[in-house]
Chain A
Amino acid sequence: MNKIVKAEFLSADIKRFIISAPKIAVKRKAGQFVIVRSNSHGERIPLTIADSDPSEGTITLIVQGIGKSTKEINSFETNDYFHDVVGPLGQASEIEYFGTAVSIGGGVGAAIAYPTAVALKEKGNHTISIIGARTKELIILEKEMRAKVDEVYVTTDDGSYGFHGFVTQQLAKLISEQKIDYVLAIGPIPMMKAVAATTRPRNIKTIVSLNPVMVDGTGMCGGCRATVDNKTVFVCVDGPEFDAHKVDFDLLMKRNRTYLTFEKQSLEKQHICNNDKAFELALQAESVTKN
Chain B
Amino acid sequence: MAARLSNKDRMKIPRQPMPEQDALERSGNFKEVNLGLTEELAILEAQRCLRCLRPMCIEGCPVGVKIDDFIALVADGNFAGAAAKIKEDNILPAVCGRVCPQEEQCEINCIVGKKNEPVAIGRLERFVADYERERLGIQTPFCKPKTGKKVAVIGSGPAGLSCAADLIQAGHDVTVFEALHELGGVLVYGIPEFRLPKEIVKAEVAALESLGVEFRKNAVVGFTDSVDELLSTEGYNAVFIAVGAGLPYFLNIPGENLNGVYSANEFLTRVNLMKAYKFPEYDTPVFDCKEKSVAVFGGGNTAMDAVRTSKRLGAKHSFIIYRRSEVEMPARLEEVHHAKQEGVEFLLLTNPLEFVGTEAGWLTGAKLQKMELGEPDQSGRRRPIPIEGSEYILPIDMAVIAIGNGSNPIIQKTTEGLTYTKRGNIIVDNETMETSRAGVFAGGDIVTGGATVILAMGAGRKAAKAINEYLLGA
User: Residues of A with Cβ closer than 8 Å to B?
Assistant: 23-24, 27, 37, 41-44, 68-69, 83-89, 215-216, 218-223, 225-227, 232, 237, 251, 254-255, 257-259, 261-263, 265-266, 269
B280 lies within 8 A of A266 (CB): yes
CA distance A24 to B220 in the complex (A): 11
> Which residue from B256, B281, B409 sits with its C-beta under 8 Å from A41?
B281
Q: Is B263 an interface residue (CB 8 A)?
A: yes
Residue from B223, B259, B361 in contact with A89 in the complex, judged by beta carbons closer than 8 Å = B223
Beyond the given pairs A219-B410, A223-B263, 15 more chain A to chain B contacts, judged by CB atoms under 8 angstroms and listed by A's residue number, are A27-B223, A41-B275, A41-B282, A84-B218, A87-B220, A87-B223, A218-B408, A219-B409, A220-B408, A221-B248, A255-B361, A259-B285, A266-B279, A266-B280, A266-B283
Among B219, B225, B360, contact of A254 (Cβ-Cβ < 8 Å): B360
Q: Decide: A218 and B263 in contact? CB cutoff 8 A.
A: no
Whether B257 and A255, one on each chain, are in contact in the complex, defined by CB atoms closer than 8 angstroms, is yes
**Given the complex, which residues of B lie within 8 Å of A87, measured CB to CB?**
220, 223-224
8 Å CB contact of A220 from B225, B247, B280: B247
Q: Is the CB of A257 within 8 A of B259?
A: yes
Tell me if B139 is interfacial: C-beta within 8 Å of chain A: no
Asked if residues B361 and A262 are in contact (CB atoms below 8 Å), the reply is no
Closest A-chain residue to B216, C-beta based?
Answer: A23
> Shortest Cβ distance from A231 into chain B, in angstroms?
10
Is B128's beta carbon under 8 Å from chain A?
no
12 chain-A/chain-B pairs, Cβ below 8 angstroms:
A23-B224, A41-B282, A44-B181, A44-B274, A44-B284, A88-B223, A222-B265, A223-B263, A227-B257, A257-B361, A258-B287, A269-B280
Nearest-neighbour CB distance to chain B for A271, whole angstroms, equals: 12
Whether A254 contacts B181 by the Cβ 8 Å rule is no
Give CA–CA (A262, B283) in the complex, Å: 9
Distance of A232 from chain B, by nearest CB (Å): 7
**A266–B274 alpha-carbon span in the complex (Å):** 15
B269 within 8 A of A: yes
How near does chain A come to B455, taking the closest CB pair, in angstroms?
A: 20
- Nearest chain B residue, comparing its CB with the CB of A267: B280
In the assembly, what is the distance between CA of A84 and CA of B179, in Å? 11
Interface of B is mostly: loop
CB proximity of B289 to chain A, nearest CB, Å: 13
Specify which of A23, A68, A69, A215 is in contact with B269 (CB 8 Å cutoff).
A215
A24 to B225, CA, bound (A): 9
> Which 6 pairs show the lowest CB-CB distances between chains A and B?
A254-B361, A262-B285, A221-B266, A86-B218, A220-B246, A222-B263
- B290 shortest CB reach to chain A, Å: 12
Q: At the interface, yes or no: B180 with Cβ under 8 Å from chain A?
A: yes
Contacts A222-B248, A223-B266; is A43 near B220 (CB within 8 Å)?
Answer: no
Q: Is A215 a contact of B179 with CB atoms below 8 Å?
A: no
Count contacts between A and B, CB distance < 8 Å: 111
* Nearest CB of chain B from residue A247's CB, rounded to whole Å: 13
Contacts A221-B248, A225-B257, A251-B257 given; indicate if A69 touches B283 (C-beta within 8 A). Answer: yes
Contact for B179 among A216, A255, A265, CB less than 8 A: A216
Evaluate contact between B181 and A37: CB separation under 8 angstroms: yes
Whether B316 is near chain A, meaning CB under 8 Å from some CB there, is no
Interface flags for B105-121 (1: CB within 8 Å of A; 0: not) read: 00000000000000000
CB distance from B341 to the nearest CB of A (A): 29
Chain A positions within 8 Å of B246 at CB level: 218-220
Which residues of chain A come closer than 8 Å to B360, judged between CB atoms? 254, 257
Question: At the interface, yes or no: B262 with Cβ under 8 Å from chain A?
Answer: yes
A221-B269, A222-B266, A257-B361 as given contacts; A84 in contact with B257, CB under 8 Å: no
Q: CB-nearest residue of chain B relative to A91?
A: B413
Q: Nearest chain-A residue to B217 (Cβ)?
A: A84
With known contacts A86-B220, A88-B223, A89-B223, A218–B410 Cβ distance under 8 A: yes
In the complex, what distance in Å separates the CA atom of A218 from the CA atom of B407?
A: 12
- Whether A232 and B250, one on each chain, are in contact in the complex, defined by CB atoms closer than 8 angstroms, is yes
Nearest-Cβ distance from residue B10 to partner chain A, whole angstroms: 47
Contact B248 A254 (CB under 8 A): no
**A222→B404 CA distance, assembly (Å):** 13
Instruction: Give B307 Cβ to nearest chain A Cβ, in Å.
Output: 18
Task: Compute how far the CA of A9 lies from the CA of B287 in the bound complex, rounded to whole angstroms.
Answer: 34
Interface core residue of B225, B282, B284 (most chain A CB under 10 Å):
B284
Docked CA distance A263–B279 (Å): 11
Cβ of B87 under 8 Å from chain A: no
Residue of B257, B259, B265 near A232 (CB, 8 A) is B257
Enumerate B22-80 residues with CB–CB distance to A below 8 Å. none
Which residues 401-416 of B have a CB within 8 angstroms of A?
408-410
Is B465 interfacial (CB 8 A cutoff)?
no
**Is the CB–CB distance between B247 and A254 below 8 Å?**
no
Instruction: Collect the chain B residues with CB atoms within 8 Å of residue A223's CB.
Output: 262-263, 266
What is the CB-to-nearest-CB distance from B331 to chain A, in angstroms, rounded to a whole number?
Answer: 21
Chain A: minimal CB distance from B420 (Å): 16
Q: Could you mark each residue 298-309 of chain B with 1 if its beta carbon is under 8 Å from any beta carbon of chain A, else 0?
A: 000000000000
List of A residues within 8 angstroms of B361 by Cβ: 251, 254-255, 257
Separation of A224 and B410 alpha carbons in the complex (Å): 16
Residue of A nearest to B285 (CB): A262
Cβ contacts under 8 Å, A232 to chain B: 250, 256-257
Name the CB-closest residue of B to A24.
Answer: B224
Determine if B257 and A218 form an interchain contact, defined as CB atoms under 8 angstroms apart: no
Give min CB distance, B446 to chain A, whole Å.
13
Interface pair B248/A86, CB less than 8 Å apart: no
Task: Point out the residues of chain B lying under 8 angstroms from A88, CB to CB.
Answer: 223-224
Point out the residues of chain A lying under 8 angstroms from B224, CB to CB.
23-24, 27, 86-88
B270 at the interface (CB under 8 A from A): yes
* Cβ B283 vs Cβ A86 within 8 A: no
* Cβ contact of A43, chosen from B225, B283, B408, cutoff 8 A: B283
Q: Find the residue from B225, B250, B263, B266 having the highest chain A CB count within 10 A.
A: B266
Measured between C-beta atoms, what is the minimum distance from B360 to chain A in Å? 6
Which residues of chain A are within 8 angstroms of B260 by Cβ–Cβ distance? 258
The residue on A at minimum CB distance from B263 is: A222
* Shortest Cβ gap from B339 to chain A (Å): 23
**Bound complex: CA A85 to CA B224 (Å):** 11
- A24 neighbours in B (Cβ, 8 Å): 224
User: In the complex, which residue of chain B has the Cβ closest to the Cβ of A35?
Assistant: B218
A31 to B275, CA, bound (A): 30
Rounded to whole angstroms, the CA-CA distance of A23 and B220 in the bound complex is 11
Q: Quick check: A216 and B218 within 8 Å, CB to CB?
A: no
- Shortest C-beta distance, B218 to chain A (Å), equals 4
Does B283 lie within 8 Å of A68, measured CB to CB? Answer: yes
> Is B285's CB under 8 angstroms from A86's CB?
no
Cross-chain contact A219 with B270 (CB below 8 angstroms): no
Q: How far is the CA of A248 from the CA of B181 in the complex (A)?
A: 32
A227 to B223, CA, bound (A): 24
Contact string against A for B residues 172-209, beta-carbon threshold 8 Å, 1 for contact and 0 otherwise = 00000001110000000000000000000000000000
